[in-house]
Amino acid sequence: MNHHPFALASFFSKLLEQKPTRIFQIWITPSSIGGSPAWGSQPFPKVDHSGRFVTLASGFDNDSDALPIRARARVLGATLKAGESVEYGLGERRHGYLVPASGAVEVNGVRIDARDGAAINDVAVVRITAIEDSELVMVDAS
């Protein structure tokens, strides 16, 4: 099979800050064969977007502010304060993958700690509650 996955590098800290930069690399199989690999960066949602998911990369036309990818998928980011919750309508026929970049969360009743991944299937809505202040990356794919 001759296809090239798309790599998305998402930066969680600004390069100009004195803290180390953390990079997450996410590989998503494209919907069509061909094309060149690509990468991009998108600012992670901080205080002004706290408590909701922001689409960072997408293969859907209606996500015009997101980095384009060649897949029927979305890469989302969210920042939650401890005790704050967010819901995402995944849909029962789609697959989700959630990773807290920092903090700890409860996902539909299951605790997920920083840098642990949760595969999510067969649920219409994903409910995430922050146990600690948290930064989240979620992939929604078919």
Is 25 part of any domain? no
Is 133 part of any domain? yes
Please state whether beta strands 85-89 and 125-130 pair in parallel, antiparallel, or not at all (unpaired).
antiparallel
pTM of the model: 0.79
Alpha-helical regions (H) of 34-142: none
Total count of domains within the chain: 1
Token output for 105: 């969360």
User: Which domain covers residue 58, as residue numbers?
Assistant: 43-141
CATH number at residue 112: 2.60.120.10
Please state whether beta strands 6-11 and 67-68 pair in parallel, antiparallel, or not at all (unpaired).
unpaired
Q: How far apart (Å, rounded) are the C-alpha atoms in residues 109 and 111?
A: 7
Are the CB atoms for 82 and 130 separated by under 8 Å?
Answer: yes
Is 116 part of any domain? yes
Is 33 part of any domain? no
Is 121 part of any domain? yes
What tens-digit pLDDT sequence spans the chain (142 residues)?
Answer: 333 343 333 333 344 456 666 677 777 888 888 888 777 777 777 766 678 899 999 999 999 889 998 899 999 999 999 999 999 999 888 999 999 999 999 998 999 999 999 999 999 999 999 999 999 999 999 8
Is 122 part of any domain? yes
Is 104 part of any domain? yes
Q: What does the CA dihedral 58, 3, 35, 42 come to, rounded to 10 degrees?
A: 30
What are the residues whose beta carbons fall under 8 Å from the beta carbon of 40, sequence distance 6 or more? 8, 9, 57, 67
Produce one character per residue of 47-86: b if its CB has 16 or more CB atoms within 10 Å, e if not: eeeeeebbbbbbbeeebeebbebbbebbbbbbbbeeebeb
Is 14 part of any domain? no
Burial class (CB in 10 A: 0-12, 13-18, 19+), 101: middle
